[in-house]
Amino acid sequence: MAGCGMSWLKILGAVIVGALLLTVGILLGHFAIPKAGNGQGAPSQGTPSWVQTVGRDLNESLLQSFMDQVESGKIRENLKTLASQPHMATTKGDEELVKLLLSRWQDPQIGLDSTSEDVYGAFLSFPDPQRPNSVAVVENSNQIFSTRRSEKNVTADQAHADVVQPYAAYAPPGNPRGRLVYANQGKRSDYQELVNMGINLNGTIAITRYGGADRAAKAVNGAEFGVAGVVVYTDPADINDGRASEEETYPNSWYLPPSGVERGSYNGYFGDLLTPYYPAKEFTYRIKESEIQGIPPIPSQPIGFEDAQTLICNLSGPVAPPSWQGSLGCSYPVGPGFRTGGLFPNTSDVQVNVYNQRVIKNSSNVMGFIRGSEEPDRYVLYGNHRDSWVHGAIDPSSGTAVMLEITRVLGKMLKEGKWRPRRSIIFGSWGAEEFGLIGSTEYTEEFYSKLRERSVAYINVDISVFANATLRAQGTPPAQSVIFAAAKQVQTPASSSMSVYDNWRNHFNRISPSYGVIPNLGSLGAGSDYASFIHYLGITSMDIAYTYDRNKTSARIYPAYHTAFDTFDYADRFIDPGFTSHQAVARTVGNVLLRLGDSPVLPPNVSDQEKLDELYSAAAQGDFLANLTANNLSLDPLKAAIGQFKSVAADFNQRITKLKEEESPSPLQIRMVNDQIMLLERAFLNPQAFPNKYYYSHVIWASKSSDQATFPGLADAYTSALVTGDWDQVQKHLTIVVQAVENAASTLEAVA
């Protein structure tokens, strides 16, 4: 009886299992198998959502809707709010803007998916509010002249209690005193020219003009020649088209008033100075201040050109070379010391009084996130710094005003359920940029691995409008195609019948071997927050703005740059009345952002690498080639590598074309080519190439000191070899370039 019972149990169990399997099969068939469509091939509601959306193309009507919703009036309102008070990094004004951005991006009607505030302990430099910096003329123990300690109150803005006195950030404190010399732009060659004139620079004070060499280099170079202190001013020849009187300057025009002083960070590197390669957190190892490189070793102080005129025009000594002359209304002598019969006794000295303090203070990045629908692990990044030296209407609030308008429109579309990007979009309001790109650099350090693995592109809009004549874009070559596509869809403010692209091409153009006459896409240096993204992470990057007509002004930059005159009134009256150029930038940049975020195949064109041919050609001719040949060095491997890259890139683009022609392209194939596009720029990185340059690892775009127009490492090694005879370093950098180009080609090869 026991065996019979067991048999019946087995039979019953089998029946039950069979019934369960049948039920599961019916359920799977009902819910998992695609049903017939609606007669037009549309998938049913039972189909997984990614199947319905993964193949969707860029929505041109949505793109147009976005641009139509961008309002110049909203941007103007944003700028008025942003520039209502000074907001230097970590000050009260800066902290209030942090709250403003968080509030906007958390708004239930127009906000983003999520936000964060990332805080870093940044090493900063401020003037002592109790002991103002100055430049004085002294005779024995008597002070007989002193420069202005603040700009003239032309409007109420300059009288704001939070306007920081002019100073050179990171310049050390001290009170050096000596005979004054005029050293032009403070380049090493300028100081050498003074020595060639027979002038002993030991213990002197050098007065230099902005331009030619970066701020810190003027003092670093001077110290090498024995200079004890440096004074820096903005010459009206460089910023004002020679105009120097109060009647010709702001508030009567856009030109810098005589009392205007350009503040700035006197720092040759970017990122937090105490924590290179590490995010500046509480737990982070910090180097000693004595180990910091690239900051002035001697006291330095900026002044206005009205005070510079008083000093320079009373100098003694020979007349400076013609290329050193400016627009102060006199023939510039070089010194040393003051002339007999001038404003000051010829025995008087100049004393630079600096009381700067270096401190670690918390600085915030404000981050906003929109989650991608199909590829949330692929990031399109958009950034703009928030901090300014004073009111900062143009630098950087014009960029922040544009970013806030873009996020308002996108946030509204998002909240209304009309749009969600294919890829995730990350917005960054960077802190402490003016002190050396600190916020953005710390961000790339903290999230180094994630950003390298997942970032599609970085868009930077720092100063969005320098002036209202034309677009100006800089970027890595593959970014050219997406910027061009966007610019062709936006009307220029000057004419409804002309696109931003055509206007840009009319102002700045080049002849391309592939495309003919096209707008000129400038190269990226390290002047704004794109620096760590391109040089350190190798992410396709771009910087976009509107600027002035070079045929109408020779200004080095917009005249009120980094002064107390960079105010809303200045922007509203002289930079962009009506804010139509701000609107054009917002539409163009937003168009680029949507193309990068929504296009199934990423829009950067890997074949747009004409720069490789240009850099190669510079080395393959004249004395450069002759000297290589004389030292048994050949460019043939480099020529072959570039040829291989161009061939592989062409094949890659053919594969993309075929993929786009397919009715239902494989999502995995799309993902594969997108990863190759995304990783191309990384292939040009070599962390060992420039061991003495923080963060620089991109063999095409790294900084260089040589004037040779070829690859930066090769150019510097060649220039050095002409002096030292060390041609091994030239061969080393030839190897580095060849390897990088070969790596780039292999990145684009068809995956086996």
Q: Residue 176: what are its φ and ψ, rounded to 5°?
A: -65, 150
State how far the Cα of 336 lies from the Cα of 181, in Å rounded to an integer.
5
Residue position matching structure tokens 């110290």: 223
CA proximity to 363, closest of 387, 399, 397, 396: 387
Fill in the amino acid letter for 453.
Answer: E
Residue with tokens 């958009």: 382
CA dist., res. 718 & res. 727, Å (int): 7
Strand 423-430 vs strand 375-385: parallel, antiparallel, or unpaired?
parallel
CA Rg value for the chain: 30
Which H/E stretch holds residue 9? Answer: helix 2-31
Question: For residue 311, what are its two tokens?
Answer: 């000093």
Considering 151, 433, 445, 742, which one is annotated as catalytic? 433
Residue with tokens 């060390």: 726
Beta strands in 45-133 (DSSP E): 114-126
Rounded CA-CA distance 419/370 in Å is: 11
Give the C-alpha separation, 661 to 225, whole Å. Answer: 65
Rounded to the nearest 10 degrees, how much is the dihedral formed by the CA atoms of 410, 412, 415, 420? -20
Strand 229-233 relative to strand 509-512: parallel, antiparallel, unpaired?
A: unpaired
Cβ–Cβ < 8 Å for 367, 447: no
In order of 123, 304, 352, the CA distances from 267 in angstroms are: 12, 21, 19
d(CA 530, CA 683): 18
Distance in angstroms (rounded) separating the CA atoms of residues 95 and 260? 26
List residues bridging with 196 in a β-sheet.
none
The three-state DSSP-derived secondary structure of 193-205 is HHHHCCCCCCCCE
CA gap 408, 470 in Å, rounded: 25
Whose tokens are 């195949």? That residue is 601
Q: In one letter, which amino acid is 35?
A: K
How far lies 336's CA from each of 190, 496, 519, in Å?
A: 14, 58, 47
Query: Beta strands 205-209 and 375-385: pairing type?
Result: unpaired
C-alpha 465/C-alpha 394 separation (Å) is 7
- Lookup: tokens for 321: 């070379």
Report whether 386 contacts 431 (CB < 8 A): yes
Is there a contact between 559 and 239 (Cβ–Cβ < 8 Å)?
A: yes
Of the candidates 656, 649, 639, the one whose C-alpha atom is nearest the C-alpha of residue 608 is: 649
Residue tagged 């103007």 (tokens): 76
Catalytic residue status for 433: yes
CB 427 within 8 A of CB 368: yes
Residues that are catalytic? 433
